[in-house]
Amino acid sequence: MVLHLVRIIFLLVVLAVTISFAFQHDVIGRGSIYATLYILIPAALAFAVVMIDMLWKRKRLATLSGVFFGLLAGLVIAIMLSLIVDKVVEILPGPDPADRPAEIQIPHDAKAAQVAAIQKKYDNEMTAWRTFVAHERMVQLIKLLMGAAAVFLCVTFVLQTKDVFRFVIPYVEFAKESKGPRPMLLDTSVIIDGRIADIVDTRVLESDLVVPRFILAELQAIADSEDKLRRNRGRRGLDILNRLQSSDKVDIQILDLQIPDVEQARDVDAKLVALAKHLGGRIATNDYNLNKIAQLRGVTVVNINDLANAMKPIVLPGENMSVKIIKPGEESGQGVGYLDDGTMIVAEQGRDFIGREITIIVTSVLQTSAGRMIFGKLDADKSFTKRDRKV
């Protein structure tokens, strides 16, 4: 609402200023069409600026400040180049400065020879003036082209390197001493897993999601695999990326940087760790090996499996819980069942209750990155009661 109000005020201010200038005598004196265009053209440009602002919804401060800094640096370089060109023009030989010759004044009693001499002098002066004007225009053209090239190169250089050279003001990004949102780099495994999209929908993530170009290339290679299972996993990963890009709850970007440490890494995992270390970000993954490598390199890792396990209900030893035994365990007399979230339940004396629901008393809980296992023993009274009720 505030943004709409600001835009309306901007349009009204532009319109008021142009109308005030349009009703001046020198503008009105040129005709009504000129005065109308004098009002409409600035108003149309202001409206175009507002439309661009409304359509460009996701503005990044780094991008805007990068463009501003690029323009500023480009203009400074353009002024310096202009001064250099002026100095070079002064040193190099060129046409002498000349003024436009006045109209020919031929006396009435002038003879033919005098007329020819006057005409020749005028022609020579006109030629000198035209040569000087052409030379000045060429110099101005060179200045404009060099200035435009300097601004363009500065803007493109800043936009391409704003994520690499973080010490350049004004898009400097100092190291954060306090814990706060940092970019989160997505691994191939966590994209294919898909739970990251559900986490994003909960709005619990404040970090920007980053997908490096080499991760996207690996995902595309999996999607193009001849193996049907791998191909389906790759396509699922691409669908998850499309879902994340269309979400308004998080910003996600495909990052393509040429960083020596990243380029020298041997495999994708090493590249991801090197990039995360360079950006000061975190890695979201389900890969156990990548988890260990990143921790050795001092890179923070968010393991989606650990996050999922942390969200599971806590079960304490001594509590009762119901479980359906579906298969025998590895040890004698053991029965194995699963909760709805995939947690494995190992029940002592549960082998005889395969296919039935029993009640166990929890004895211990084993938590690992691969999942959680609950061990318990049969609660004979409640289990037999349930079995008899079914019979």
CB 19 within 8 A of CB 40: no
* 241 is a domain residue: no
| Whether the predicted pLDDT of 32 surpasses 60 | yes
Average pLDDT over residues 157-170: 57
Host domain of residue 336:
314-390
Whether residues 40 and 126 fall in one domain: no
Is residue 271 within a helix (H) or strand (E), and if so which, with residue range? Answer: helix 268-279
The DSSP bridge partners found for residue 388 are none
Whether residues 199 and 273 fall in one domain: yes
Least confident of 16-25, 88-97, 188-197: 88-97
Whether residues 202 and 289 fall in one domain: yes
* 238 is a domain residue: no
Distance CA 212, CA 189 (A): 14
* 227 is a domain residue: no
Whether residues 132 and 151 fall in one domain: yes
The domain that contains 258 carries what CATH number?
Answer: 3.40.50.1010
* 235 is a domain residue: no
Whether residues 267 and 371 fall in one domain: no
Average pLDDT, the chain: 79
* 135 is a domain residue: yes
pLDDT-based confidence at residue 171 (cuts at 50, 70, 90) = very low
CB 339 within 8 A of CB 347: no
Global pTM reads 0.46
Distance CA 328, CA 7 (A): 70
**Number of separate domains in the chain:** 4
| Whether the predicted pLDDT of 186 surpasses 90 | yes
* 339 is a domain residue: yes
Whether residues 206 and 272 fall in one domain: yes
* 140 is a domain residue: yes
* 226 is a domain residue: no
Whether residues 343 and 369 fall in one domain: yes
Whether residues 345 and 277 fall in one domain: no
Least confident of 13-22, 98-107, 285-294, 343-352: 98-107
Distance CA 20, CA 13 (A): 11
Residues 6+ apart with CB under 8 A from 260: none
pLDDT-based confidence at residue 388 (cuts at 50, 70, 90) = very low
Token reading at 120: 């020749």
